Structure 1
Amino acid sequence: MGSALLTAGVPLFLILMGVAWGLPTITPKIESGTEANSTIETTAPPGGSEVESQCHSAWQKFLTDFDVHYESESEAEKRRNIFCENWRKIQNHNLLYESGVESFKKGINQFSDLTFEEWKQKQRPRLKVETTTEASKDEINKTKCQAAWEKFLTDFGVKYKDHAETEKRHSIFCDNWRKIQDHNLQYESGVESFKKGINQFSDLTFEEWKEKQRPIVASEFSKLENTTKDDPDTVKCQAAWNKFLIDFEAKYKDQAETEKRRKIFCDNWQKIQKHNLQYESGIESFQMGINQFSDLNFEEWKIKQRPSINPELTKDKMQTNQRI
């Protein structure tokens, strides 16, 4: 009677409970040691843990989504183990993303069954393809940079003394343009937090640009320097003011207006210097500089940003208000 409740040494109630709970079915064995039904496959992954179960589901989806096939069972098992290792790393990364530590999210792709070394190897294109691709890429970049260069010359009205200087500036510009493209690719992928663009300094090397940021103290201000030794900022601001007048061809109706604008300019200049010190220390994320509005106070600058209203429209509006 006791032997009737056992099937090849396995209690019958355990088998029935396993079926009822949806657990992996334990295949009973015949006394000879061979499996009673060798064609039945387990529906749950090895280990039976929740993580393994989730990874098994992800693995099955990966095989379907990317139509993946392997030449042998051993290769398939090797790839499944690599996949699950990568999958666990992705889950850990995405938890950091959700908590704000990481700035981007990861996901499964066609390379998820490869080790890092294998993935790196996949990124190396074959020699012939690489040569063709790089040549094509260089040609495309040359065309794009040329268009950007011509726009730069037009937008900023840039002219050079001779052909040699033009070629030199063109080469520097294209170097800067490529760096900007690389930076903006990182911005689009979430690595960088801001985007770069072409400006009036894009034909300068970094050293030349730094030199441009240092105002030149003209010799005619040497007396002023001697009388203001305790206030070197006054000398620097005067030099910046002199440069501003030349760069933007600023002219005023009389001496009183000129002096008023100079004082406003120096106030703005000092604010710019303080801001840029914070930029250099990493507190601010961008740098400020002198422009055509640097002799205006904030209220005057705001007025400048408002589009001018057509006088005729203003007159019509006034007449309409009078009728009402």
Structure 2
Amino acid sequence: MGSALLNAGVPLFLILMGVAWGLPTITPKIESGTEANSPIETTAPPGGSEVESQCHSAWQKFLIDFDVHYESEPVAKKRRNIFCENWQKIQNHNLLYESGVESFKKGINQFSDLTFEEWKQKQQPRPKVEATKEASKDEIDKTKCLAAWNKFLIDFGAKYQDDGETEKRHRIFCDNWRKIQDHNLQYESGVESFKKSINQFSDLTFEEWKEKQRPIVASEFSKLENTTKDDQDTVKCQAAWKKFLIDFEAKYKDQAETEKRRIIFCDNWQKIQKHNLQYESGVESFQMGINHFSDLTFEEWKLKQSQSLQRKISNPNN
């Protein structure tokens, strides 16, 4: 999915997309590194390009944020080169995110000085420890999931026809609950850009959830016969709005705010449709889609990005 707000007439983004799609990636070739046992370099590489200078600043921040030290200068130089390659890939990815091609943003984390192969190696399961410790972890997970299940039953008033169905739903819920925990660990480490939580569909398999969505969309699109194009667009946008509310769990303080957000959403939705027609005809080089900012105006979206940047600057270690 892409940002519905980025096609609101900002020429710079189109220029950036030209760079992201039409030109080769600039991968900085870094020659200097950190001194052994020193957390940062005190000066930027002499005579370096702007890209090298930017990566140098990101590298210094990485060393401080994650308290990184290396055993020798050659190791530090090697890690710095890997870091800058990863940093450049992140910049390229985030250009696509800002233009609506990618649906999430990437950032630096504690693994940013590793190659992909090294990162995969770190993710491999650790050698099995004593069976009692493994059993203990499973028991802890079962206890936590049972507490989450009991809360789910209360929060959403879930009731089932018999004990067999209840047990089936409990198993599905706990499977979904574990996936949410794994996803949120990735979010906390900076790999994922959003957090997941329990909702009213958490006792369904993915296939069951998809089946539940079909009647909602079908009932909206069944109204399209014998209607004008404007009426058709209204019905289509209403279906997209309902899906947006489900997918992103959007909630508002009152009915007035909900209606305001729906109107903004439909305005963004229409812009996306027009942009994608241009994409299909070959005029535009990328496609747009709905994301979690699609109920915001462009000005509101810019303000959110500014506030997020200010928080990062004010609290660089958080």
TM-score using structure 2 length: 0.42
Q: Which has the higher contact order (CA 8 A, sep 6+)?
A: 2
